[in-house]
Amino acid sequence: MRPYTTSDTDTAVLPLKVVISGGFGAGKTTFVGAVSEIPPVRTEEDLTQAGVGTDHLRGVEQKTATTVALDFGRITLPLPPIRVQLQLFGTPGQDRFWFMWDDLARGSIGAIVLADTRRLGDCFAAVEFYEQRGQPFIVAVNEFDGAHRYTEQQIRDAIQLSEHVPLISCDARLRASTRQVLITLVRHARERALAHASSAPTRESQEA
Amino acid sequence: MTTEGSAWRNEALGAVRPYALVCGRVTPTHELARHALLQASADPPAMLLQPHHAQVLDVCGQEGPRSVTEVAGRAGLPLQVVRILLSDLIDDGYVVYAMPVGIRNAECDVNILERVLAALHHI
């Protein structure tokens, strides 16, 4: 944990991570693309670099499983005298990528779990992960055309979402809508931070 | 006798090849978290760089600081390979960190989150 050094405070930018998680096809790439100030950048990572044990590689027949792609986007915000770079990491929602979730979650503001009502089960793993980690997260239902609309309570029941976790609907293609999702997450994270600051850490261990 | 799919034709090599760019090294000298922000030094040494180092430096250098993740994506190289190349560039003075010193746990700092929230309303 060596502190970073910088050459010039005028150009210093504070990075803040936000994780966009969700099942395959839930709209992560679209979401990142809609709100990012740059077209999403796709990064490839080797599974091997995370020290995946041999038992994880055993039975993984297809070659595609050796790398995992991640979508990166960013939003630069002025916070005089510095700037903040809000970094959006769109990450695969399958739980076999748990090692990456852990690394991404560490030091992040929180996560947006994108849900598709046609495949709600795809977001279970992510919801469970962030719940257990005690990390701020929200669930955003991406309203696909033609998908059945459920009530908020129906969705909460279906994914067994605690009432403390914000649930909102969005259109991942629209900038205004994705911005609103980000605002909801940051507001939730701020409330959590406030509660944390004013209460003893014993509340942490409270079981859901 | 040679057969297709014999031990010589190792499919797994495809995933290993980028590491040849970094002479088989797998551990970077700097930790370089995915989110760490870097930029090209304003005062770089006047030495000739290897093509892949030059490529990565080029990606760092254009405008404003870029994250390790973004550099990897733009260079089209795996993250860990880019970490090693960036470490070399930092060690040799071509690339510098571009983050404010002394701000810790910003992600759960009420004041910072409040200001981020306000700023988000204006994008």
pLDDT at A2: 37
pLDDT at B24: 72
Of A58, A144, A46, give the one whose Cα is nearest residue B79: A46
**A178 membership: H or E segment, kind and range:** helix A175-198
Which A positions 121-150 lie with beta carbon below 8 A of chain B? none
Contact by Cβ (8 Å): A103, A112: no
Is residue B118 within 8 angstroms of chain A, CB to CB? Answer: no
Size of interface A-B (CB pairs under 8 A): 160
Q: Which residues fall within 8 angstroms of residue A128, CB to CB, at 6 or more apart? A: none
Summarised one tens digit per residue, pLDDT across range A11-63 is: 689 999 999 998 878 899 999 999 999 999 999 876 654 444 443 444 444 44
Q: φ, ψ for residue A70 (rounded to 5)?
A: -135, 140
User: Which residue in this structure is represented by tokens 């050796």?
Assistant: A66
A97 contact residues in B (CB cutoff 8 A): none
Residue A64 identity? T
* Nearest chain B residue to A111, by CA: B107
Query: CB count, 10 Å around CB of A12?
Result: 21
Chosen from B63, B108, B117, B122 to mutate, greatest number of chain A CBs within 10 A? B108
pLDDT at A59: 43
The vertex-A170 CA angle with B71 and A28, nearest 5°, equals 30
Q: What is the pLDDT along chain A (208 residues), one digit of tens a residue?
A: 334 444 445 568 999 999 999 887 889 999 999 999 999 999 987 665 444 444 344 444 444 445 678 999 999 999 998 999 999 999 876 666 777 888 899 999 999 999 998 888 888 889 999 999 999 999 999 987 777 788 999 999 999 999 999 999 999 999 999 999 999 999 999 999 999 888 755 444 444 3
pLDDT at A51: 41
Contact by Cβ (8 Å): B90, B82: no
Task: Specify burial of residue A179 (Cβ count, 10 A radius: 0-12, 13-18, 19+).
Answer: middle
Summarised one tens digit per residue, pLDDT across range B5-56 is: 455 555 554 444 566 667 777 788 899 999 999 999 999 998 889 999 999 9
pLDDT at A69: 85
Chosen from A1, A14, A19 to mutate, greatest number of chain B CBs within 10 A? A14
Of A7, A11, A12, A43, give the one whose Cα is nearest residue B90: A7
Write down the pTM of the prediction.
Answer: 0.83
Q: Which of B7-11, B56-60, B96-100 has the lowest mean pLDDT?
A: B7-11
CA distance B119 to A79: 8
**DSSP tag of B47:** -
Q: Predicted ipTM?
A: 0.82
